[in-house]
Amino acid sequence: MAGDFSRQLDLGDSSGKNIWKKLHLDPKLFALLMILALAGLFILYSASGQNISMIYRQATYYGLGFSIMLIIAQFHPRWFQMAAPWMYGAGIVALLLVFLIGVGAKGAQRWLSVFGVFRFQPSEIMKLVVPMTMAWFLASQLLPPKFKVIAISMGIIFVPTLMVMKQPDLGTSLLIAGSGIFALLLAGLSWRWIALALVTVLAIAPVMWYGVMHDYQKQRVLTFLDPESDPLGSGWNIIQSKTAIGSGGVEGKGWLQGTQSQLEFLPERHTDFIIAVFAEEQGLIGVLLLLALYLAIVIRGLYMASKARDSFSRLLAGSLMITFFIYVFVNIGMVSGILPVVGVPLPLISYGGTSIVTLMAAFGVIMSVYTHRQA
Amino acid sequence: MSFALKDDRSEKEIFAHRAVLASVFVFFLVLVLATRMFFLQVTEHDVYATKSENNRVQLQPVPPIRGLIFDRNGVLLAENQPSHSLTVVTERVDDLEQTLALIDTLVGLTTDEKEKFLKRVNQWRRPYEAITLKYKLSETAIAKLMVNNPFLKGVQVEAELIRHYPKGADFAHVLGYVGQINEREKKRLDPSRYKATRRIGKIGIERYYEDLLHGQPGFQKVETNAQGRVLKVLERKSPTPGRNLILNVDATLQKKAYDAFKGRRGSLVAMDPNTGGVLAMVSSPSFDPNLFVNGISHNKYNSLRDSLDKPLFDRATRGQYPPGSTMKPFIGLGFLESGVTSWSEKIEDPGWYMLENDERVYRDWKRKGHGDAIGLRHAIIQSCDTYFYEMSFRTGIDYLNPFLTKFGFGKNTALDIGNALPALLPTREWKKKHRGRSWYAGDTLNLGLGQGYMLATPLQLATAMSVFAAKGEWNRAKLVQFIDSEELKEETKPDNVVIKNPDDWNRMGRAMEGVIKHYLGTAKGLANNLNYRLAGKTGTAQVVGIKQNEEYDSEALLERQRDHALFVSYAPVNDPKIAVAVVVENGESAGSTAGPIAKIVTDEYLASLKNLDNHLGETYGR
């Protein structure tokens, strides 16, 4: 019904529709993503201190991302279903390798160097592989999931989660866990289990605090609770980003005019804190427009997921979309000071190739499940 | 695997249901973010706008340029040299040790520089205050630091003006020096004037005239980035530079005088009797004041402080010596003024003097005495002690003390030499208070010879000689002649010394001329190559109070137990232009050590005046 509605909105040009069909792309989602990417380049131009070579690189990443999306969209979802357990196995091996031969920075070991040619983060791939595996597993089970299924699901989710947490990369590990859990929720996990899980999380929080978290991670949480306690150390980032956002006001200071960002008060302004640059320069109006854009992408994505041909496709696309939104929420939440600072980039806006490519691959999956529903 | 059949339809429904819930949840979270943004950007906007503005714009004080100091002929004595310094804001440095190591490999650091820097790091200072690590960077060093800027967080190259004293040791005690403002000074200083100032006058003219030399700071509103680097000056009010000082001191004369000591311990003060202007003021040995500008190292300071020759001690204004026979012209005038004797009275000098009811024998410096008919004139020429014992006894302390006070003894009369000591002109009350005994007649006899309790500084002797040369007319000693183009005002002067018979000034002057010209004169050696009329008086002061308790250094101590040699003079006698007082510590013979130094300075000064006259004559056809 809603699909009919969307078709009616399409221009009557049947040849144009055919092109999208042949490309296995959804024009609406594609358009939204294009808008986001273009906006991203403009924001980055200002946030990078008008570093044109950074813009070229980011544009290249976008090109790479859109290409990967296009390629992945061509695969029938059943390929993902078949590949899921293998990819999961490979992912676990890669994470193990990180421990053994990984390279790191700032006390964390996250990277894997491939023949010394390029480096990649297996944890980034797991963001895609875990929901895929969950969808594969749940699709083969009777839904809504019962205890045994839930227990196995927990195993699938928390093995890679804990491995990433130990790298240590708290932010990514929580997002990996989240992406798996969303699949479970979308599969119809009963409310009793959800309530139980919430209680469990509250119970194990102290264990995490004393047993698992590194000092710098604890520091982040402490700073989150009271940023003024260390205004020049770890509180600096959050104070400066709040100042940037707040001083932007309703209309913003104008593109390239944000003093907080342009005068380098704002740290990591072109990566994790890029939303502060945007909020300072474009104001509340700009922020609301950006949030609307993200909201449109997520709603469209969820709608596309619900139209998919089978449980695997639905669960995979749905959990990827929610995960995507969670990135948005966590990033903006942390920069605006309602969540602790964890290293999560703003999806498709922050500078960085890995994140763009992974996210666009996820959108490729969504395109695939939506465009392959009849066959 | 599962026993029940999978029901795609129901699964699809479950999913649709959950997807709607998820959409609601997403929408709710977006609302949360929007609310948060609204709170920051609308509700709290003013707070953050102010914060951001404070971040961006800083009101920086701009230090004023310190006033210059010139000698009487316009020779630069204290200037401000541009210099590049390496400063560190330790709060911005992640790893201080590593940063220092890197700087060391780039430009090299001496242990001295490191030590001084680390000392400052641990001292109290304003948060985010830059601490200087290295001064006077070379062009190459600056380039190296610039290139490595990304690895040197919190490190900056700053251009600043640094005080420099081109004449070095010659003027150390006159000018003093500026040094880093310390904690105590910081509390005392007006923060609005000194916020941007790093150094302050510590001693000498630099300290006395600090207020004038410093100037008024300006300010600038600047836009800075997070590293504190100034990106743009938004508004600027220029500082008012400090005022320039033109001294009475003659740099050439000063150098001649300092060199004349050849490193011996001693002091010379030369004044213009007509103005009180200090023409030269020397304390030897001296030190290089430039060492103190950027903070002197421990080792160097300790070696200066512990040197037996005490180079840091300003003998001219703070060295208190028994003036000895250099007091005789003043005391002699006192005899005449009190009426106890006249120029014509002659007494017998057997070489000793005794008081009634006192067994002590007061000896003349000449064992056999100066003959059986000695008057005031020859008591001056030959420095006859017996005559002065007798006349001092007759005059008494109650007359002598107030009379000598008129010449400035026992107080600091200098106009702009803040730390000059009053030394000591004893009174009955003083002795009672400090020695617990009443004044004896014998104390008066000692005073009559400028010995006993009496102490005077070279500056006081020169001042007294200057007043004497001006026939009692007072001009206070002053180092500064002009502040910019404004003449230094002398608002209060001590009362002029008025005597009953003004011709006594001339007669006493001629007697002092005899000290040099007469074949019995105690400074007759100075008569050679003398082409003007010089009046002088020698003096020796016994060195007391040094105990011979350290065997190993007995030779040095012996040398230090010799008498101090003193000499006071003025010239030309008929039209005095310069009055001089010289002390050579342990110089023994005044006529051959202190006298020649005074003559060198007098020769030089009178010659320079003559040159100036000739020059003016040629220029103006006089």
Tell me what percent of the residues of chain A surpass a pLDDT of 90.
Answer: 45
Residue of A nearest to B232 (CA): A263
Residue range B37-63: average pLDDT? 85
Domain ranges of chain A: 21-74+217-375, 77-213
What residues form DSSP beta bridges with B478?
B277
State yes or no: pLDDT of B3 exceeds 80: no
pLDDT of residue B595: 94
Using the Cβ of B223 and the Cβ atoms of chain A, whether some distance falls under 8 Å is answered with yes
B127 contacts in chain A (CB < 8 Å) = none
Query: In whole angstroms, what is the distance from residue B334 CA to residue B499 CA?
Result: 9
Token pair listed for B480: 């500064």
Task: Encode pLDDT of A213-263 as tens digits.
Answer: 777 777 767 766 666 666 555 577 888 889 899 999 999 888 888 877 777
Looking at residue A141, its amino acid is: Q
Q: Which is more confident, B622 or A15?
A: A15
Q: Pairing relation of β-strands B245-247 and B69-70?
A: parallel
In degrees and rounded to multiples of 5, residue B469 shows phi and psi of -60, -30
Query: In whole angstroms, what is the distance from residue B480 CA to residue B209 CA?
Result: 10
Q: Is B37 within 8 Å of A333 when comparing Cβ atoms?
A: no
Query: In whole angstroms, what is the distance from residue A303 CA to residue A2 CA?
Result: 9
Residues 6+ apart with CB under 8 A from B354: B360, B361, B362
Query: In whole angstroms, what is the distance from residue B128 CA to residue A324 CA?
Result: 42
Query: In whole angstroms, what is the distance from residue B418 CA to residue B204 CA?
Result: 8
Residues 290-319 of B with CB under 8 A from A: none
The DSSP call for residue B240 is B
Residues 6+ apart with CB under 8 A from B432: B438, B439
Q: Which is more confident, A339 or A285?
A: A285
Which position has the token pair 């390496």?
A: B86
The DSSP call for residue B3 is S
Which position has the token pair 């300790």?
A: B302
Residue B58 pLDDT class (50, 70, 90 cuts)? confident
Number of neighbouring beta carbons within 10 Å of residue B613? 11
Strands (E), A115-189: 118-120
Residues 23-52 of B with CB under 8 A from A: 23, 26-27, 29-30, 32-34, 36-38, 40-42, 44-45, 47-49, 51-52
Using the Cβ of B227 and the Cβ atoms of chain A, whether some distance falls under 8 Å is answered with yes
> Cβ(B214)–Cβ(B239) under 8 Å?
no
Q: Is B11 within 8 Å of A143 when comparing Cβ atoms?
A: yes
Q: Is B18 within 8 Å of A186 when comparing Cβ atoms?
A: yes
Residues 6+ apart with CB under 8 A from B276: B415, B463, B466, B474, B475, B476, B477, B478, B490
Using the Cβ of B544 and the Cβ atoms of chain A, whether some distance falls under 8 Å is answered with no
Query: In whole angstroms, what is the distance from residue B194 CA to residue B178 CA?
Result: 14
Lowest mean pLDDT among A73-77, A165-169, A280-284, B471-475: A165-169
Q: Pairing relation of β-strands B69-70 and B361-363?
A: unpaired
Q: Residue B158 is inside which H or E element, if any?
A: strand B155-164
> Cβ(B307)–Cβ(B410) under 8 Å?
no
Min Cα distance A319 → chain B (Å) is 10
State yes or no: pLDDT of B293 exceeds 60: yes
Using the Cβ of B22 and the Cβ atoms of chain A, whether some distance falls under 8 Å is answered with yes
Token pair listed for B402: 């107030």
pLDDT of residue B2: 42
A190 contacts in chain B (CB < 8 Å) = none
Residue to test with chain A: of B1, B52, B128, B232, most A Cβ within 10 A: B52
Token pair listed for B397: 């302390």
- Closest in B3, B41, B55 to A279, CB measured: B41
Cα B235 to Cα A264, B191, B223: the distances in Å are 22, 21, 10
Residue of B nearest to A300 (CA): B23
- Closest in B40, B44, B225 to A264, CB measured: B225
Residue to test with chain B: of A181, A189, A243, most B Cβ within 10 A: A243
Query: In whole angstroms, what is the distance from residue A113 CA to residue A98 CA?
Result: 9
Token pair listed for B32: 């949360």
Q: Is B51 within 8 Å of A288 when comparing Cβ atoms?
A: no
Residue to test with chain A: of B11, B94, B128, B222, most A Cβ within 10 A: B11
Task: Encode pLDDT of B412-449 as tens digits.
Answer: 999 999 889 999 999 999 999 999 999 999 999 999 99
Min Cα distance B58 → chain A (Å) is 13
- Exposure string of A91-105, with b = 16+ CB inside 10 Å and e = fewer, is bbebbeebeeebeee
pLDDT of residue A1: 42
- Closest in B19, B38, B55 to A243, CB measured: B55
Q: Is A299 within 8 Å of B23 when comparing Cβ atoms?
A: yes
What residues form DSSP beta bridges with B188?
none
CA-closest candidate to residue B269, choices B487, B579, B543, B484: B579
Q: Is B30 within 8 Å of A294 when comparing Cβ atoms?
A: yes
Q: How many beta-carbon pairs below 8 A join chains A and B?
A: 159
What residues form DSSP beta bridges with B535?
B570
CA-closest candidate to residue B244, choices B62, B81, B65: B65
Residue B5 pLDDT class (50, 70, 90 cuts)? low
How many helices and strands in chain B, by DSSP H and E? 24, 21
Query: In whole angstroms, what is the distance from residue A279 CA to residue A283 CA?
Result: 5
Task: Encode pLDDT of B62-94 as tens digits.
Answer: 889 999 999 999 999 999 988 888 888 877 787
**How many residues are recorded in chain B?**
622
Query: In whole angstroms, what is the distance from residue B24 CA to residue A26 CA?
Result: 23
A144 contacts in chain B (CB < 8 Å) = 14
pLDDT of residue A254: 87
Helix (H, G, I), strand (E, B) or coil at A240: helix
Task: Show the domains of chain B with their CATH numbers.
Answer: 59-247 (3.90.1310.10), 251-286+314-484+497-615 (3.40.710.10)
Looking at residue B55, its amino acid is: N
State yes or no: pLDDT of B451 exceeds 50: yes
Task: Encode pLDDT of B317-376 as tens digits.
Answer: 999 999 999 999 999 999 999 999 999 999 999 999 988 888 888 888 888 888 888 999
Query: In whole angstroms, what is the distance from residue B251 CA to residue B76 CA?
Result: 9
State yes or no: pLDDT of A11 exceeds 60: no
> Cβ(B206)–Cβ(B177) under 8 Å?
yes
Query: In whole angstroms, what is the distance from residue A360 CA to residue A297 CA?
Result: 13
- Closest in B19, B34, B49 to A318, CB measured: B19
Residue of A nearest to B229 (CA): A263
A333 contacts in chain B (CB < 8 Å) = 32-33, 36
Q: Is A246 within 8 Å of B6 when comparing Cβ atoms?
A: no
Q: Which is more confident, A212 or A176?
A: A176
Which position has the token pair 């002061």?
A: B541
Query: In whole angstroms, what is the distance from residue B225 CA to residue B230 CA?
Result: 7
CA-closest candidate to residue B575, choices B534, B614, B536, B615: B534
Rg (CA), chain A: 21
Min Cα distance B423 → chain A (Å) is 57
Phi/psi-derived region of residue A213, left when phi > 0, alpha when psi is between -120 and 50, beta in every other case: beta
Task: Encode pLDDT of A33-55 as tens digits.
Answer: 999 999 999 999 999 888 889 99
Helix (H, G, I), strand (E, B) or coil at B571: strand
**How many residues are recorded in chain A?**
375
Residues 6+ apart with CB under 8 A from A12: none
The DSSP call for residue B39 is I
State yes or no: pLDDT of B388 exceeds 70: yes
Query: In whole angstroms, what is the distance from residue B599 CA to residue A154 CA?
Result: 106
Number of neighbouring beta carbons within 10 Å of residue B604? 21
Residue range A279-294: average pLDDT? 95
Q: Is B325 a catalytic residue?
A: yes
State yes or no: pLDDT of B549 exceeds 50: no
Mean pLDDT for all residues in chain B: 88
What residues form DSSP beta bridges with B51?
none
Cα B418 to Cα A206, A282, B202, B253: the distances in Å are 70, 64, 12, 23
Query: In whole angstroms, what is the distance from residue A364 CA to residue A358 CA?
Result: 10
State yes or no: pLDDT of B519 exceeds 50: yes
pLDDT of residue B557: 59
